[in-house]
Structure 1
Amino acid sequence: MLLKTLCDAKGPSGFEGEVRNIILKEVKPYVDSVKVDVMGNIIVHKKGKGSKVLVDAHMDEVGFIITGFNDDGTLKFKALGGVNNKVIPSKTVLIGDKEINGVIGIKPIHLQSQEERNKNMQYKNLCIDIGANSKKEAMEVVDLGEYVVFNTKLEEFGENLIKGKAFDDRMGCYVLIEILKENYNCDLYGVFTVQEEIGDRGAYVSAYNVMPDIGIVLEGTICADMPYISPHLRATEVGKGPAISIMDRTSIFNDDIAKEIMEVGKVKNIPYQRRRAIAGGNDAGAIIMVGEGAKVATISVPCRYIHSSISVASKEDIENTKNLVMEYLKTL
């Protein structure tokens, strides 16, 4: 299952190599050219006429990086991307290509002061336990600067749902791979970018190389369909189709393109929803700023508990996202 292979792969920001190799193997038979640029972005081209269209998905996931060693053999670390401190204590992780097992440690609640219990623990109050007994022992198996990812495997559960890590943005990578298997009339570039989670860095480079007229960003996005959250505060809802964004903190999405995408959904009977939050940002913020700019839109798979050790998504939402983008591209 390609989606499981993508989500289970290790690829935090700056360390996307494992994910990149999977994608290169999958897309080469379906495109006219493949390039990996200096940053590590994959840029593929399906030749066509008219509008130059860039469809973007980022390969990196949120994770951590080893920054030091404690005397007792535990490891110091910092975040790669936006990981909320509240969701990481006691989670299991894998360190580097050697996949060293670790556990994110925190002082037990019984020993915390009232002040500590009431505030969000900082990274300086956390450590990664790899079972080493000394600093020397830890340094023999782990190098400074090694990456760390959550140790979570994709599984199906409930009614047509899946749970796993890195849904932001292996969902987009999977959809883009599937899209590239079809043929279109437009001049289509598929771009799998690096380092989105730390500032859309790969997208600036890839967009500059392509200079598109239209940029479509595929994402796994925030979802808040929980019982204690009012309906009007739910950014998206699982099972109600791909989410078409209005704006976020880095870009305002082109209203004409959004309307065209929604019209395709209506005509083809593909369910969709509007993303009702303007928080966050993605590669569209880079695409819209490069060269003379581009018209941009974002289409996302709703994902519960995003940027944590495990997220939840609907298999139907993934399939409908793929179908909606395919059918829109066929209109160009």
Structure 2
Amino acid sequence: MANIELIKKLSNSFGISGFEDEVIEILKSEVRGYVDSFEVDPLKNFIAVKSLELAKPIVMLNAHMDEVGLIVKGFTSEGYLKFSKVGGIDDRVLLGKRVVIGKNRVKGVIATVPIHLQEQSERNRVEKAKDMVIDIGVKSKEEAEKLVSLGDFVGFDVKFEQLSENTFVGKALDDRLGCALITEILKEKFNFPIVALFSSQEEIGLRGATVGAFKYTPQISITIEGTISADFPDVSDHEKCTTVGNGPVITIKDNSVITDHELRGKLVKIAEKLKVPYQFKQVFVGGTDSSRIQLTKAGVKVLVVAVPVRYIHSPISLFNINDYENTKKLIIEFLKSL
């Protein structure tokens, strides 16, 4: 059974790119006793290793810890906060959202002008993030500076919860679902060395993975993601990318990588043998850490397997727990076949 409490804990934690510390502490407590050692490198990659003494090819499991969010860049004289985006966020999803700021967990809301006070021209355009402010309920710059510092992270104030029998919603499911899956998989027994690379700063350019695979370079790497689903009524079937509830998503190609054909074929055969539902990512967009890992040293064979998630890169996302379970089952059986 899926460890819902672990997913909840990871989703509710804050880990904007460059501020992954809270996620790292959760992962440390979860993998302790199931791996031989772990470390945090200078870019805040969290790396856990298991059975390196075995004279067999190293397999890497990769998921990124960071989430999209905002960062404080200034104050107005009235005590509002100016901010910049961290990672790819659509400006349209920001206005009116509750946020949490910095280590002091200051509460705020991204300010919006009531529709009653908007000119017609304002109603027909999207306000840009650079023009938005965060209201923390104070009246001056001096008051704001006592609570918040320049460079503080800003995360979305959203709590993980169950929506229906099989669906759950929460923030940062891209890629806390991958982090939770690797944590659960590490508790299984395998007869080869495993390196778990929980990477940092993926959302701002795959930065953590660029260096994270160098110390323990694998022969095979599986990146586990929460990926795009646009399975809405007004979207053509071939543009939905993935469908929530239809099983693990296997990537053939995206904007950054072409996965290994032989390994992918083996993964599909195992899914069919186990009667695990699966789907291919239909729209070749986005990119993952796999593209950086693939180019490490003399090259690495890579796969990308994902849980389909609606509304990624927004304050709240949705997934089906059966997709999570089937992803875990498929990856474990694939690893046992190596």
Q: Which of 5, 27, 35 is 2:9 aligned to? A: 5
Shift of 1:136: 1.1
Letter of the structure 2 residue corresponding to residue 329 of structure 1: L
Aligned CA distance change for structure 1 residues 45 and 132 (closer, same or farther; 3 Å): same
- Structure 1: distance between partners of 2:258 and 2:176: 24
- Structure 2: distance between partners of 1:55 and 1:65: 29
The answer for the alignment partner of 1:279 in structure 2 is 285
- Structure 2: distance between partners of 1:117 and 1:246: 41
SS at match of 2:82: strand
Letter of the structure 2 residue corresponding to residue 220 of structure 1: G
SS at match of 2:215: helix
Find out whether 1:328 has 2:309 as its counterpart: no
Percentage of pairs with the same residue:
45
Letter of the structure 1 residue corresponding to residue 242 of structure 2: T
The answer for the alignment partner of 1:103 in structure 2 is 109
1:287-302 matches, cutoff 5 A:
287-302=293-308
- Structure 2: distance between partners of 1:171 and 1:231: 25
Identify unmatched segments of 5+ residues in structure 1: none
Q: Which of 67, 73, 78 is 1:61 aligned to? A: 67
1:216-295 matches, cutoff 5 A:
216-295=222-301
Q: Which of 27, 41, 54 is 2:31 aligned to? A: 27
**8 Å CA contact retained: 2:158, 2:171:** yes
The answer for the alignment partner of 2:98 in structure 1 is 92
Please tell me the root mean square deviation across aligned C-alpha atoms, in Å. 1.2
- Structure 2: distance between partners of 1:204 and 1:141: 35
Q: Which of 136, 158, 167 is 2:142 aligned to? A: 136
- Structure 1: distance between partners of 2:103 and 2:325: 32
| CA distances 1:181-221 after superposition (whole Å, capped 9, x unpaired) | 00112221111111000011110111112221111100000
Identify unmatched segments of 5+ residues in structure 2: none
Runs of 4+ aligned residues of structure 1 deviating over 6 Å after TM superposition are none
1:185-200 matches, cutoff 5 A:
185-200=191-206
| CA distances 1:33-56 after superposition (whole Å, capped 9, x unpaired) | 212111111111121442211110
SS at match of 1:30: coil
- Structure 1: distance between partners of 2:272 and 2:56: 25
- Structure 1: distance between partners of 2:203 and 2:245: 25
**8 Å CA contact retained: 1:33, 1:45:** yes
TM-score (norm 1): 0.97
Q: Which of 28, 33, 41 is 2:45 aligned to? A: 41
**8 Å CA contact retained: 1:223, 1:237:** yes
Aligned CA distance change for structure 1 residues 104 and 112 (closer, same or farther; 3 Å): same
Which piece of structure 1 moves more, 238-247 or 40-49? 40-49
- Structure 2: distance between partners of 1:272 and 1:254: 17
Shift of 1:277: 1.3
